[in-house]
C-alpha cells in the first residue's frame, strides 16, 4: 500500500513537473518585428534581495516603453535569466541568453563578483551590456562593452570620507565592511581618502556576509575611540548592525553605503535603530522634491506593493537610455555601443548619466539621513568627490 502511495506521489510529481515545463514559455525567439534584449538577474537565492527590485523595474520599463509606442515602432521584449548567487550560474545564464535569443544588448546584475565573472563572456559576445555592481575592479578591466549605470563604490567611499571630515568635522573614524571586493575595496578607498584629508582611520573591521552578530566589530571600533563608523554593507546586514549599535549603546553615528537605506533593509529596522545614521546613495526616491521622481516612486510602490530602490530605478533609467541609443544607432552591436558611450547628460528618474571612457555613467552620490523619529529619509547634500 505504502509502495503504491509512493509510486502514485512520484508519478503525480513527475506529471506536475512535466505540465509545468509544458506550460513554460517557449525559448526566447523574437516575434515578427520585436526587439529582444536580455537581462541576467538574480531571481532566486539571497541575491534576489536586490535582484527583485530590478526584475520588477525592468518589467515596468518594458511596459512603459511599449505603451509609448515601443522602440522605433517595434515592441521591446526583455528575456530574463536567473543568475542565483553563483558565478557559474551567472556565466551560463549570459551564454544561454546570447546563444538562444541573440540579443543586441544585455543587462547584467548589480553584483560585482558576477559582473567580473561574466566580463570575459561579454568581450567574447561583442555586445554592449549595462551593469550596476559598484566594484571598481570591473571598470579597471577596460572592457569597452561594459557600461555602469550606478556610481562606483569609490565615489561613495570618497564621499563618505569627505562628509565625515569636512561636514561632521570628525577626527577619529572607524571603518567596517563585508568581506570581499565590495566591502574591503570600499574600506580601502575610504581609508586612503581619509588619510589624504589628514585623518588616520582608528580601525578596520571585516565581517562575512553570512554573519549575524557584529557586536565584536562594533565594540572594537568604539573602544579604539571611533567617533563614527563608515560601513560598507550588503542589504541583509544593516538591520542587524544598526540594531546592535543601539543595543550596545554605542552612541556614535554610522555612515552607511547605499544598501543601508534600501527599503529591503529599512523595512525591518525601527526608527530608533536608524536614529543618528547617514546613508550614501545614488538618489532620494521616496520623498524627493521632484514631482517626476515622486510620481515614479508612487507608481512603483502601487504596482509591486513595495517601495522602490536605487537599484531598481538605475535599471529603469538604463532601459530608457538604451531605447534612446537604439533609436539613434539601430541594433548593430558596434553602433549601439558607440551610441551608449556617447550619451551625455541623459536625465533619468534616479540620476543624470554621462559615460566616460571607462564606461562609468554616474559620477555623484547623495547623502541622506532619516528625519528624527521616523524612517523617512531627507536629502542632506549632493557630493561629487572628483570636484
SS3 of residue 287 by DSSP: coil
Nearer to another protein, 126 or 225 (CB): 225
Nearest distance, CB of residue 265 and another protein, angstroms? 8
In DSSP terms, 82 is beta-bridged to: 41
Please identify, among the stretches 115-123, 226-234, 241-249, 313-321, the one whose residues bind another protein according to the rule CB under 8 A.
241-249
Decide: residue 356, CB within 10 A, 0-12 exposed, 13-18 middle, 19+ buried.
exposed
Dig out the grid coordinates for 227 from the structure. 567617533
Nearest distance, CB of residue 272 and another protein, angstroms? 9
Nearer to another protein, 48 or 132 (CB): 48
Pairwise CA distance, residues 215 & 218, whole Å:
5
| Chain centroid to CA 136 | 14
Pairwise CA distance, residues 96 & 98, whole Å:
5
CB 62 within 8 A of CB 76: yes
Q: Does 11 bind another protein (CB under 8 A)?
A: no
Dig out the grid coordinates for 175 from the structure. 571603518
Q: Does 247 bind another protein (CB under 8 A)?
A: yes
Nearer to another protein, 248 or 295 (CB): 248
Q: Does 374 bind another protein (CB under 8 A)?
A: no
CA 88, 101, 98, 309 torsion-angle sign = negative
Nearer to another protein, 206 or 341 (CB): 206
CB within 8 A of 320, min separation 6: which ones?
61, 65, 348
CB within 8 A of 294, min separation 6: which ones?
286, 287, 288
| Chain centroid to CA 95 | 22
When binding is defined by CB under 8 A, the residue of 108, 189, 240, 241 that contacts another protein is 240
Q: Which residues of 313-337 are buried (b: 16+ CB within 10 A; e: fewer)?
A: bbbbbbbbbbbebbeebebebebbb
Pairwise CA distance, residues 172 & 302, whole Å:
43
Please identify, among the stretches 71-79, 106-114, 132-140, 205-213, the one whose residues bind another protein according to the rule CB under 8 A.
205-213
Q: Does 229 bind another protein (CB under 8 A)?
A: no
Nearer to another protein, 68 or 88 (CB): 88
Q: Does 168 bind another protein (CB under 8 A)?
A: no
Q: Does 208 bind another protein (CB under 8 A)?
A: yes
Q: Does 340 bind another protein (CB under 8 A)?
A: no
CA 42, 47, 48, 52 torsion-angle sign = negative
Please identify, among the stretches 41-49, 127-135, 158-166, 323-331, the one whose residues bind another protein according to the rule CB under 8 A.
41-49
Nearer to another protein, 65 or 265 (CB): 265
Pairwise CA distance, residues 78 & 208, whole Å:
34
Nearest distance, CB of residue 27 and another protein, angstroms? 23
Nearest distance, CB of residue 267 and another protein, angstroms? 7
Q: Does 338 bind another protein (CB under 8 A)?
A: no
Give residues 278-317 in contact with another protein (rule: CB under 8 A).
Answer: 306
When binding is defined by CB under 8 A, the residue of 196, 268, 295, 342 that contacts another protein is 268
Nearer to another protein, 271 or 379 (CB): 271
When binding is defined by CB under 8 A, the residue of 195, 216, 334, 356 that contacts another protein is 216
Strands 352-353 and 106-107: unpaired
Dig out the grid coordinates for 164 from the structure. 565625515
Please identify, among the stretches 87-95, 192-200, 233-241, 339-347, the one whose residues bind another protein according to the rule CB under 8 A.
233-241
Nearest distance, CB of residue 52 and another protein, angstroms? 5
Nearest distance, CB of residue 231 and another protein, angstroms? 13
x/- letters, 42..81, toward another protein (CB under 8 A): --xxx-xx-xx-----------------------------
Cα dihedral 205, 211, 215, 217, rounded to 10, equals -10
- Which residues contact another protein (rule: CB under 8 A)? 6, 44-46, 48-49, 51-52, 179, 205-208, 210-213, 215-217, 219-220, 223, 236, 239-240, 243, 247-249, 264, 267-268, 270, 306
Amino acid at each position: 500500500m505504502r509502495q503504491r502511495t509512493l509510486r502514485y506521489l512520484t508519478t503525480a510529481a513527475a506529471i506536475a513537473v512535466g505540465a509545468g515545463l509544458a506550460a513554460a514559455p517557449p525559448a526566447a525567439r523574437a516575434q515578427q518585428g520585436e526587439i529582444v534584449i536580455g537581462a541576467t538577474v538574480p531571481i532566486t537565492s539571497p541575491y534576489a534581495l536586490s535582484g527583485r527590485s530590478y526584475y520588477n523595474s525592468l518589467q515596468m520599463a518594458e511596459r512603459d516603453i511599449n505603451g509609448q509606442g515601443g522602440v522605433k515602432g517595434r515592441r521591446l521584449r526583455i528575456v530574463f535569466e536567473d543568475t542565483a548567487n553563483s558565478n557559474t550560474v551567472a556565466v551560463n545564464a549570459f551564454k544561454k541568453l546570447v546563444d538562444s535569443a541573440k540579443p543586441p544588448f544585455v543587462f547584467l546584475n548589480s553584483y560585482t563578483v558576477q559582473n567580473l565573472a561574466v566580463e570575459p563572456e561579454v568581450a567574447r559576445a561583442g555586445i554592449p551590456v549595462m551593469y550596476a555592481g559598484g566594484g571598481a575592479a570591473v571598470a579597471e578591466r577596460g572592457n569597452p562593452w561594459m557600461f555602469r549605470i550606478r556610481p562606483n563604490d569609490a565615489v561613495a567611499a570618497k564621499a563618505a570620507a569627505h562628509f565625515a571630515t569636512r561636514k561632521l568635522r570628525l577626527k577619529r573614524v572607524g571603518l567596517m565592511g563585508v568581506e570581499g571586493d565590495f566591502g574591503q575595496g570600499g574600506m580601502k578607498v575610504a581609508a586612503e581618502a581619509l588619510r589624504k584629508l589628514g585623518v588616520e582611520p582608528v580601525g578596520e573591521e571585516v565581517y562575512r556576509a553570512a554573519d549575524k552578530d557584529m557586536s565584536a566589530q562594533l565594540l572594537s571600533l568604539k573602544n579604539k575611540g571611533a567617533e563614527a563608523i563608515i560601513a560598507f554593507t550588503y542589504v541583509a546586514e544593516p538591520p542587524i548592525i544598526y540594531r546592535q549599535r543601539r543595543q550596545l549603546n554605542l552612541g556614535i553615528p554610522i555612515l552607511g553605503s547605499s544598501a543601508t537605506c534600501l527599503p529591503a533593509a529599512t523595512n525591518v529596522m525601527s526608527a530608533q535603530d536608524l536614529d543618528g545614521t547617514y546613508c550614501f546613495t545614488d538618489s532620494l526616491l521616496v520623498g524627493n522634491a521632484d514631482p517626476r521622481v515622486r510620481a515614479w516612486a508612487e507608481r512603483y510602490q502601487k504596482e509591486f506593493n513595495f517601495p522602490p530602490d536605487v537599484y531598481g530605478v538605475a535599471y529603469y533609467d538604463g532601459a530608457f537610455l538604451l531605447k534612446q541609443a537604439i533609436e539613434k544607432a539601430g541594433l548593430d552591436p558596434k553602433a549601439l555601443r558607440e551610441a551608449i558611450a556617447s550619451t551625455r547628460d541623459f536625465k533619468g528618474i534616479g540620476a543624470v548619466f554621462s559615460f566616460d571612457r571607462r564606461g562609468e555613467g554616474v559620477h555623484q552620490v547623495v547623502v541622506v539621513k532619516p528625519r528624527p523619529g521616523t524612517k523617512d529619509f531627507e536629502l542632506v547634500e549632493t557630493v561629487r568627490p572628483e570636484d
